[in-house]
Structure 1
Amino acid sequence: MNVTIDKHAFAILSDSESGRCEFAALDVGVSEEIDCGSDVALSGPLQLLKGVYARICREFLHGEQRALKVQTFSDAPPGSGLGSSSTMVVALVQAFAEFFALPLGEYEVAHLAYDIERNDLKLAGGKQDQYAAAFGGFNFMEFYEGNRVIVNPLRVKDWVWSELEASLVLYFTGVSRASADIIDQQSRNVTEGKQSSIEAMHSLKQEAVQMKECVLKGDLRRLAQTLQAGWEAKKNMASSISNPLIDDVEKLAFANGAHAAKVSGAGGGGFMMFMCSPEKRIGLTRALASQGGRLLDFHFTQQGATSWRIA
């Protein structure tokens, strides 16, 4: 169960005037140039950019390494739990598809982004973020064997959209974390047969179904209960998902009107999401602001990955 917000990842492609392959993450001030034809090392702070470039050249350009300038920036900090890494890979794939007129729809863009991130770059994680970024809007996603994915767009009533938007608060703890490390711990717990982790995963799956029903029916009270139950189950998947900082912020939030809490993404830090009655939102945001983190203003958006050309 997923919804996109109006924070974006941007990728800009152009021919390189230097005749070399140029990569730059503009928001963090990191850049690198390599000679075209040389091996592209899929590591370091620019691995997402280089990974997409290498895969596109190999799969769609018959191995030719075109001299390109690849630049990116994002509205969300890395390690925030908002799916920023996967969203950036989707943005890059979408930009390359536009640049080279590749016949890729939303499903193909999302799957290719997933394959690059998980298999080419060996970064642990799921695949919901890639599909969320590619499609946009409220979606109920089903994942099956053999990489079969079904994305079901939800027709959410306007008043539910507005009430839910007014009921949610996003708070950045100021702590970024490597989601792959936490996901690796969760995976180990499952493969080693840790019963509490396996039961937590089954609970989360069922709660996604319940959330879909709550959103479609406009039952926001039950949605808050389901969201909180999901967070409690998630904490049982790995010990690193929560910590004293997160616990303290959660207690403060509940003392100031929150009905439900959740750490976005893998856990361990990044953004926390709280659900409250709209009239409690101001008091909740003031209390959270006193903790030294940062509140993020946002709105839901229907728009998924999009691309355009500049003449």
Structure 2
Amino acid sequence: MIIATAPGRCGIVGNPTDMYGGSVVSCSTAERAACTLVGEKDSIVISVGGQSQEIVSSNDLALRDGDYLNVARAVLMALEVQPGVTPPFHLDATTDIPMQAGLAGSTAILATIVGAVLAHLDLRLNPYEVAELVRKIEYDVLRCVCGFQDHYMATFGGLNFMDFRDKNSAMSQDYSTPYATIEPLAPYLTTLPFVLAHTGVKHHSGTVHKSIRDRWLEGELAVVEGYLEIARLARTGKKALLAHDWPLLAELMSRNHAIQRDLGGSGESNEALIAAALGGGAIAAKLAGAGGGGTIIALTLDPERTQKALLDAGADKILIPAPSLGLTVEIRV
């Protein structure tokens, strides 16, 4: 039996410049995805989110619209699993990360399946290779417009400053694509004054990112300059976080959100919860991931008051950012 788990994540400052060669400060969540893989004698069976399918031939790996099993099919295709040739197994992936909430829930599931199948195939990759592989599958196979934050956070976990320099010119990856620079910050912090609130509105991050991505590719000045500024905010944000300078970090987070909102990357449900957080004692609040629904992150020194205000405003769920392990793979004999 192989058991793999991976966390969700929330962007504190800098997102979404992981798509544009920028910088991001991000923290994992306590909520995790998990994949259990058991070697079997009969056939390959995949289960995700309660849906199951037996994989008899390569035709069974064809992607289907709106099907949770696509994440497992994509991994099997990418790792060249061949029914009748690869030693059979039963795979079951689950998650307690709210799905389509801007917390990298689907990426975390994808990472756990990658980790479990790599172990089954006895393929050993370093964490950077795993992060890049997970992102390549999501972008090239699942056709999701995405950056690199989700994949590195699912793999590394923790609280990190991440630099994605030179990862903006081509969204597809090849051997020349550089790795991200990952700087762990959790060892230097004793407290994290953040609260996450999920709006309850589901979205697909690609639908939020794609139009702004197109505008960036076309060289729209507001998008290009806005994302250069957000990346700079993240670099200053690292310093503010390490210094426990919450007023400065609040200013940076607020500016980050203002730029993304003005570019059309937020949404009514996001703005309602941000207003509630600010009215409930938070000194800053912004998108934790993509907009159009999803989750907001609030910087607050009065978490109980802020949480109550968010719940009173209709937040679907309150979560607490927690630096935790990235992708873990355990093999039980």
Q: Which runs of 5+ in 1 are unaligned?
A: none
The answer for the alignment partner of 1:169 in structure 2 is: 195
Mapping for residues 63-78 of structure 1, pairs under 5 Å: 64-78=85-99
Q: Determine which structure has the larger helix proportion and give its number.
A: 1
Cα displacement string for residues 234-285 of structure 1 (whole angstroms, at most 9, x for unaligned residues): 1233x2x2222222222222122111111221111111111111xx221111
- Report the CA distance between 1:37 and its aligned residue: 4.5
The answer for the alignment partner of 2:204 in structure 1 is: 178
Q: Could you tell me which of 325, 328, 331 is aligned with 1:303?
A: 325
**Judging changes above 3 Å, is the alpha-carbon distance between structure 1 residues 206 and 152 closer, same or farther for their aligned structure 2 residues?**
same
- Report the CA distance between 1:132 and its aligned residue: 1.1
Mapping for residues 190-209 of structure 1, pairs under 5 Å: 190-209=216-235
Maintained 8 Å contact 1:36/1:66: no
- Name which of structure 1's ranges 225-234 and 289-298 shifts more when overlaid on structure 2: 289-298
The answer for the alignment partner of 1:289 in structure 2 is: 311
- Report the CA distance between 1:180 and its aligned residue: 0.7
- Report the CA distance between 1:49 and its aligned residue: 0.8
1:82 matches 2:103: yes
Cα displacement string for residues 126-177 of structure 1 (whole angstroms, at most 9, x for unaligned residues): 011111111121222222254212333334455x332x2xx21111111010
The answer for the alignment partner of 1:139 in structure 2 is: 160
**Judging changes above 3 Å, is the alpha-carbon distance between structure 1 residues 12 and 139 closer, same or farther for their aligned structure 2 residues?**
same
The answer for the alignment partner of 1:260 in structure 2 is: 284
Q: Which runs of 5+ in 2 are unaligned?
A: 1-24, 168-175
Mapping for residues 17-56 of structure 1, pairs under 5 Å: 19-25=42-48, 28-43=49-64, 44-56=67-79
| TM-score w.r.t. length of structure 1 | 0.88
**Judging changes above 3 Å, is the alpha-carbon distance between structure 1 residues 296 and 221 closer, same or farther for their aligned structure 2 residues?**
same
1:219 matches 2:245: yes
**Judging changes above 3 Å, is the alpha-carbon distance between structure 1 residues 292 and 69 closer, same or farther for their aligned structure 2 residues?**
same
State the alpha-carbon separation in 1 of the partners of residues 182 and 146 from structure 2. 21
| TM-score w.r.t. length of structure 2 | 0.83
Q: Report SS of the residue matched to 2:92.
A: strand
The answer for the alignment partner of 2:5 in structure 1 is: none
Maintained 8 Å contact 2:273/2:315: no
1:124 matches 2:145: yes
The answer for the alignment partner of 1:250 in structure 2 is: 274
- Report the CA distance between 1:65 and its aligned residue: 4.4
- Report the CA distance between 1:38 and its aligned residue: 3.7
Q: Report SS of the residue matched to 1:3.
A: strand
- Name which of structure 1's ranges 179-188 and 245-254 shifts more when overlaid on structure 2: 245-254
**Judging changes above 3 Å, is the alpha-carbon distance between structure 1 residues 62 and 297 closer, same or farther for their aligned structure 2 residues?**
closer
- Report the CA distance between 1:222 and its aligned residue: 0.8
**Judging changes above 3 Å, is the alpha-carbon distance between structure 1 residues 247 and 299 closer, same or farther for their aligned structure 2 residues?**
closer
Maintained 8 Å contact 1:137/1:302: yes
Cα displacement string for residues 180-208 of structure 1 (whole angstroms, at most 9, x for unaligned residues): 11111111111233222222211111111
The answer for the alignment partner of 1:273 in structure 2 is: 297
One-letter amino acid of the structure 1 residue matched with residue 202 of structure 2: S
Q: Give the RMSD, CA atoms, in angstroms.
A: 2.1
Maintained 8 Å contact 1:262/1:274: yes
One-letter amino acid of the structure 1 residue matched with residue 129 of structure 2: E
Q: Report the identity percentage.
A: 25
Maintained 8 Å contact 2:160/2:186: no
Maintained 8 Å contact 2:115/2:329: yes
- Report the CA distance between 1:305 and its aligned residue: 0.7
Q: Number of residue pairs matched?
A: 298
One-letter amino acid of the structure 2 residue matched with residue 57 of structure 1: E
1:188 matches 2:221: no
- Report the CA distance between 1:8 and its aligned residue: 0.8
One-letter amino acid of the structure 1 residue matched with residue 308 of structure 2: R
**Judging changes above 3 Å, is the alpha-carbon distance between structure 1 residues 244 and 155 closer, same or farther for their aligned structure 2 residues?**
closer
**Judging changes above 3 Å, is the alpha-carbon distance between structure 1 residues 214 and 141 closer, same or farther for their aligned structure 2 residues?**
same
